[in-house]
Amino acid sequence: MKSILEKEPTRGSATTAPLLRELVEHLRQHRTELREEWARRITEAELLTAMSDAEIFAEATSVYDNYVAALETGTFEALQTYSQNLSERIIPRGVETHEVVGIVLLLRDVLARSLFAKYQSDFQLLNRILDAYEPAANRIANTVAVGFVQERERIIREQQEAIRELSTPVLQVRERLLILPIIGVIDPQRARQLTEQLLRAIRGNRARVVVIDITGVAAMDSHVANHLVQTVEASRLLGATVIVTGLSPEIAQTLVKIGVDLGKMNTVGDLQGGIEEAERLLGYKVVPSDAPTQIPGLRDEA
């Protein structure tokens, strides 16, 4: 990617340099109106809807100045840093890739039109000015868009890392009864880690029944499903019965469609049902006591 950015302008820079200087001069002179025109068109095109008009104008000003500076110097490092910076600020606010690409292309159009207007009498000069302007403008658009996408990817990677590091606790709710609530994405690596953790906990806590709750699992592929089946079987080899709860309708349908053999699995609709079933297996009987104890901090309704 670096190589694209460092490449010399396509047309001979000796001839385009004075033209670019003239161009930059023009853009500096008409800064106020062009900037306003651009900001107006951003609002019209309903881009950056997550931001207020004042914010759009403020960002537009700095993008404009950076844009002109990049045209003038022919170096893109400053712009690159700026676009990365900008991405960091606007990604958390829900700005999409198409919006960022859209505004940069809009600026390109706005500036090009002002050039048409200025040089309409001299077609040849206009042509040469555009020859100088277009490659530079394209590279600027490219730099900003790539910077934005890279920032997005960096955030996605970070979040994946965070999800992976979310520890999954194995909890004992009663003598001999463990609960394993699984939340988030399960990849093969995490599935293996989970299984090992559970088997060790079964041994450590002398568990006889385990409830694996997957309410918090959004999706499951055949690989992970098979891992789940393996976990159930391995637990059984240790002498523990596994009850799987919280299979969402989507996951249930996927599993049936991809033909995972869940025959060996004990499934109950939700976590409550799973715990009740586990208590039944363990011979517990939960009976409400006659006089409910006053819960501290809860005011009497009567």
Partner 1 sequence: MAVPILKQAQYLIATIQSALTDEDLITLQRALVEQVGKFRSRGVIVDVTSLDVLDSFASRTLRDIAHIIRLRGAETVIVGVQPEVALAMVQLGITLEKVATALDLEEGLAYLDKKLRHAREES
Residue 93 CB, nearest approach to partner 1 (Å): 45
Sign of the torsion formed by the C-alpha atoms of 8, 14, 15 and 20: positive
Non-local CB neighbours of 147 within 8 Å, separated by 6+ positions: 80, 83, 84, 86, 87
State the Cα–Cα distance between residues 105 and 125, nearest whole angstrom. Answer: 23
State which residue, 140 or 240, has the beta carbon closest to partner 1.
Answer: 240
State which residue, 11 or 236, has the beta carbon closest to partner 1.
Answer: 236
Non-local CB neighbours of 260 within 8 Å, separated by 6+ positions: 222, 225, 226, 229
Token digits of residue 38: 């651009």
Residue 267 CB, nearest approach to partner 1 (Å): 18
State which residue, 150 or 205, has the beta carbon closest to partner 1.
Answer: 205
State the Cα–Cα distance between residues 187 and 220, nearest whole angstrom. Answer: 9
State which residue, 283 or 292, has the beta carbon closest to partner 1.
Answer: 283
Distance of CA 298 to the CA centre of its chain: 41
> Which amino acid belongs to residue 301?
E
State which residue, 142 or 267, has the beta carbon closest to partner 1.
Answer: 267
Residue 222 CB, nearest approach to partner 1 (Å): 16
Contact footprint for partner 1 (CB under 8 A): 195-196, 199-200, 202-203, 206-208, 230, 233-240, 264
Residue 246 CB, nearest approach to partner 1 (Å): 23
State the Cα–Cα distance between residues 196 and 211, nearest whole angstrom. Answer: 16
Residue 219 CB, nearest approach to partner 1 (Å): 23
Bridge partners of 266? 243
